[in-house]
C-alpha cells in the first residue's frame, strides 16, 4: 500500500538504500533495564549493520549511559547523548534527530522498550528507493509474552493503512517505532512545531512531512513486537468514551493548571483541532522556502486544517469515519475543537 502525494519527480537514491549508512534515533526516559537492554540488543543484532544508534536521554544521563554500556559492551555504534534537562518525549526525539550525522541517508525511530526482529532494517530499507517513508506492522503484546513466546498468534497485530492526507491528519497512521524515512525529511521536519498539549506527537508530524517530501509506503509485514505496559507514554489506544473523558480531565490539570471551564475548553481545542492546525500551518509556511510541490489532495487537506471551516471539516471527518480511517472518538474530539473557544496562545511552529 503506498501513498505518493508529490507531483514532482521522486528523488530516487542513486545507489539504492539497501546497503546505505543510517541512524537509529531512540528517546530514553527512566527505562526499565531488562526491557531496555533487550531492545538495545535487538537493534545490535540487526542483519543490516551499517548504522549508528543515537540515544537521547531525557534526564539521568549517567544511569542510562551505564545501562547502554552493560547491554552493548564496546559497540561504538551506540552513542548516548548527554542531557540532564527533561523535555518530554516529543522534543526528546527532536534532540536525537538533530544529532543525526549528515552522512546518514536514512533514519529509523526506536522506543526504549520494544523488540525488533533481526531483519527489520534489511526488509524496510529497499522501499526507500521509491518513497520518503516506509512503515511495517507489529505484534502488540505485553513484555512477558514478547520475552517468552514468539508465536505470532499470541497478541494482536497493528493495522497501519494507506489513507488520504485528510484522514492522516485526523487519525495518525505513522507509529514512530515502526517506521524509517529518508534523511531529507528532517530538512523539512526540524525544528518540530510545538503545542503544550498531550496530542503533539513527533511521528504524526514526521509522517506529514514525509507525505510532502515524496510519499509513504505501508508494508504488511510484521517486523517487531510493540510492547504495551503501564508505563507507555503512547500505545495502541482502545479507549472507551468514559476513559477518554477521564484522561482529558487529567491532562487539563497537568497542562492547564486547573480544571476550570476555560481550561477544559483550552485542552479540548488543543488536543482535538489545535495540534492539527499547528502542523498544517507550519507545513504550509515551510512549503515556499523549501520549494515543495505538493499534490492537490495534501495541499487541500492542509488548508482545511490551517483555517478550519466548521462544515467542511465535519464533512471530511464524517467521510473518514465512513471509510473506517478515522475513529468516531477522534472525529468527536476534533469536532469539539471547532466549537471550543480558542486559547490565547494556541501553538507555534518554533520548537519552544
Per-residue model confidence (pLDDT) at position 258: 73
Per-residue model confidence (pLDDT) at position 6: 40
Per-residue model confidence (pLDDT) at position 154: 83
Domain ranges of the chain: 2-7+20-227, 241-339
Burial code (b: 16+ CB inside 10 Å, e: under 16) for 42-64 equals: bbbebebeebbbbbbbbeebeeb
Rounded to an integer, what distance in angstroms lies between the CA atom of residue 262 and that of residue 161?
37
What are the pLDDT digits (tens) for 79-98?
Answer: 999 877 788 889 999 999 99
Rounded to an integer, what distance in angstroms lies between the CA atom of residue 154 and that of residue 173?
23
Give CATH for domain 2-7+20-227.
3.90.550.10
Its pTM stands at 0.86
Per-residue model confidence (pLDDT) at position 104: 98
Which residues touch 314 (CB under 8 Å, ≥6 apart)?
335, 338
Q: Can you list the residues of the chain whose pLDDT is less than 70? A: 1-14, 229-241, 243-245, 247-248, 251, 254-257, 259, 262-264, 341-352
Per-residue model confidence (pLDDT) at position 13: 43
Instruction: Identify any residues that bridge with 25 across adjacent strands, giving them in sequence order.
Output: 54, 109
Per-residue model confidence (pLDDT) at position 321: 97
Residue with cell 520548537: 351
Per-residue model confidence (pLDDT) at position 147: 86
DSSP track, 148-170: H---TTSSEE-------HHHHHH
Instruction: Identify any residues that bridge with 107 across adjacent strands, giving them in sequence order.
Output: 23, 181
Q: Would you call 165 exposed, middle or buried from its count of C-beta atoms within 10 A (0-12, 13-18, 19+)?
A: buried
Rounded to an integer, what distance in angstroms lies between the CA atom of residue 84 and that of residue 82?
7
Rounded to an integer, what distance in angstroms lies between the CA atom of residue 88 and that of residue 95?
11
Amino acid at each position: 500500500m503506498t501513498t505518493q502525494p508529490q507531483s514532482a519527480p521522486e528523488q530516487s537514491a542513486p545507489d539504492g538504500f539497501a546497503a546505505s549508512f543510517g541512524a537509529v534515533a531512540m528517546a530514553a526516559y527512566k527505562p526499565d533495564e531488562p526491557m531496555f537492554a533487550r531492545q538495545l540488543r535487538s537493534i545490535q543484532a540487526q542483519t543490516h549493520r551499517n548504522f549508528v544508534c543515537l540515544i537521547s536521554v531525557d534526564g539521568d544521563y549517567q544511569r542510562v549511559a551505564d545501562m547502554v554500556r552493560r547491554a552493548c559492551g564496546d559497540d561504538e555504534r551506540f552513542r548516548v547523548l548527554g542531557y540532564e534537562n527533561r523535555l518530554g518525549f516529543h522534543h526528546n526525539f527532536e534532540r536525537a534527530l538533530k544529532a543525526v550525522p549528515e552522512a546518514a541517508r536514512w533514519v529509523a525511530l526506536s522506543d526504549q522498550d520494544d523488540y525488533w526482529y533481526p531483519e527489520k532494517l534489511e526488509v524496510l530499507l529497499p522501499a526507500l528507493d521509491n518513497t520518503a517513508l516506509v512503515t511495517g506492522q507489529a505484534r502488540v503484546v505485553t513484555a512477558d509474552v514478547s520475552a517468552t513466546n514468539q508465536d505470532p498468534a499470541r497478541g494482536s497485530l497493528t493495522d497501519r493503512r494507506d489513507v488520504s492526507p485528510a484522514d492522516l491528519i485526523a487519525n495518525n497512521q505513522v507509529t514512530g517505532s515502526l517506521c524509517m524515512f529518508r534523511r531529507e525529511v528532517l530538512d523539512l521536519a526540524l525544528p518540530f512545531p510545538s503545542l503544550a498539549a498531550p496530542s503533539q506527537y513527533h511521528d504524526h508530524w514526521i509522517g506529514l512531512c514525509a507525505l510532502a517530501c515524496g510519499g509513504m509506503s505501508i508494508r504488511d509485514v510484521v517486523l517487531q513486537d510493540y510492547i504495551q505496559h503501564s508505563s507507555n507514554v503512547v500505545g495502541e489506544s482502545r479507549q472507551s468514551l468514559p476513559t477518554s473523558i477521564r484522561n482529558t480531565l487529567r491532562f487539563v490539570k497537568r497542562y492547564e493548571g486547573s480544571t476550570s471551564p476555560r481550561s477544559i475548553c483550552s485542552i479540548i481545542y488543543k488536543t482535538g483541532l489545535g495540534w492539527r492546525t499547528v502542523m498544517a500551518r507550519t507545513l504550509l509556511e515551510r512549503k515556499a522556502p523549501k520549494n515543495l510541490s505538493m499534490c492537490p489532495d495534501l495541499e487541500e487537506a492542509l488548508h482545511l486544517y490551517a483555517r478550519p471551516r466548521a462544515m467542511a471539516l465535519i464533512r471530511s471527518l464524517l467521510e473518514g469515519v465512513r471509510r473506517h480511517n478515522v475513529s468516531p472518538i477522534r472525529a468527536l474530539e476534533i469536532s469539539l475543537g471547532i466549537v471550543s473557544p480558542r486559547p490565547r496562545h494556541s501553538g507555534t511552529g518554533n520548537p519552544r
